[in-house]
Amino acid sequence: MLISKELVEEILEMKLPRWDEFPNFDIYSDQLINIVEDSCKPIYIDKERIITKSMVNNYVKLYRMPKPEKKKYGKVQIAYCLILTILKSVLTIDEIIDGIELMSENERVEENYDLFCDEFERSIKEVFIPMLDYTDEYHVAELNLDRKNLGVALICKSLSYKLLIELILYERNQGKDKITQ
């Protein structure tokens, strides 16, 4: 088995908070960081800090995220931070922002954010559920993607496969650590 059943199940249980689940009031950067870390923890195995105050400040300073009002962050900033944190391992920050802006031309931010969450979770399931089938073959799901959401679907699929590779290597290295101890 390449990845433990427990690790696969933890990934499969991951659910990103939807727009309506964000606080209905503005929050401080510490609270923003807690939301992002709690939401992204399953995909950042073995990493102490997922996001820091410095990262958030840099996103704002470099115009990669809307400015907070009186040092308080709202739903838009929470969504930006989550998307940036999740996608930064497969795209540059500029590419992520370009993608967010492209999606925002057609629809509302909350709909785009929820669409991203749906595509991300669907992709995780398609990539990781076959890992629970302990046969010698791994069956890749066919790609049947809606052209309207093609960019989001493809990047989520790419991220899911990258995560699978990282977890296989993580599990392999965990075994080596046990042998050398």
Residue pair 12/121 in contact by the 8 Å Cβ criterion: no
pLDDT digits (tens, 9 = 90+) for 103-119: 766 668 889 899 999 99
Tell which phi-psi region holds residue 52, choosing left (phi > 0), alpha (psi between -120 and 50) or beta. Answer: beta
Residue bearing the bigger pLDDT, 20 or 50: 20
State the sign of the Cα–Cα–Cα–Cα dihedral 99, 105, 110, 116.
Answer: negative
pTM of the full structure: 0.86
65 SS3 class? coil
DSSP string, 15-62: -PPPGGGS-SS-B-HHHHHHHHHHHHGGGSTT-S-S--HHHHHHHHHT
- In sequence order, which ranges of 42-149 are alpha helices (DSSP H)? 53-61, 75-87, 93-104, 109-128
Res 105: pLDDT: 65
pLDDT digits (tens, 9 = 90+) for 112-148: 899 999 999 999 999 999 888 877 777 776 777 777 7
Segment 55-64 mean pLDDT:
88
Rounded-to-integer distance, Cα 97 and Cα 64, Å: 6
